[in-house]
Amino acid sequence: GGVRRVAVRVLLVVAGAVLSYIGVSALLSPRAFYAANGILLADDPSLLSEVRAPAGLLVVGGIVAFLGALRRSLTRPALAATAVVHGSYGLSRLVGVALDGMPAQGLVAATLIELLVGGLSLAALVGAPRSATRARPGEGWG
């Protein structure tokens, strides 16, 4: 019902804000963004290109999440995208912990947030009846 729709919208807005903030920060100011966790990026155009490429994907993911919060017909695709992006980042970080050890505390917090948002997005997607996130005829934004 209405409460569930509001909860899904809030989830998508939070997911979109996180993805957009991280994406824009890493895209436009990668050295400063990564330095916050003790990661020093060399002045190497190839390295910076590799850092910026996934940042652009995060920005797009954030936009998709925001659109899903605003437009009912985009809610399911936005939840799927959010679950995939946040979930894959969180799970990949767990692989890193297993293979490399514990990262900086900020990255551990990022892992927990990514797993939480990804899991909640997946649960909302799986638990939603298909009609609950489809626009009705004549229904626009909102």
Burial class (CB in 10 A: 0-12, 13-18, 19+), 65: buried
Chain length of the chain: 142
Q: Are 34 and 47 in contact (CB under 8 A)?
A: no
Question: Whole-prediction pTM value?
Answer: 0.84
Place of tokens 């807005």: 13
Write the pLDDT tens digit of every residue in 10-55.
999 999 999 999 999 999 999 999 999 999 999 999 999 999 999 9
Per-residue tokens: 128: 């939603």
| Nearest C-alpha neighbor of 140 from the set 80, 70, 76 | 70
**Would the pLDDT of 128 be above 80?**
no
Cα–Cα distance between 26 and 125 in angstroms, integer?
Answer: 28
Cα–Cα distance between 42 and 17 in angstroms, integer?
Answer: 28
For the residues 110-129, what does the mean pLDDT come to?
92
Angle, CA of 121, 20 and 39, to the nearest 5°? 105
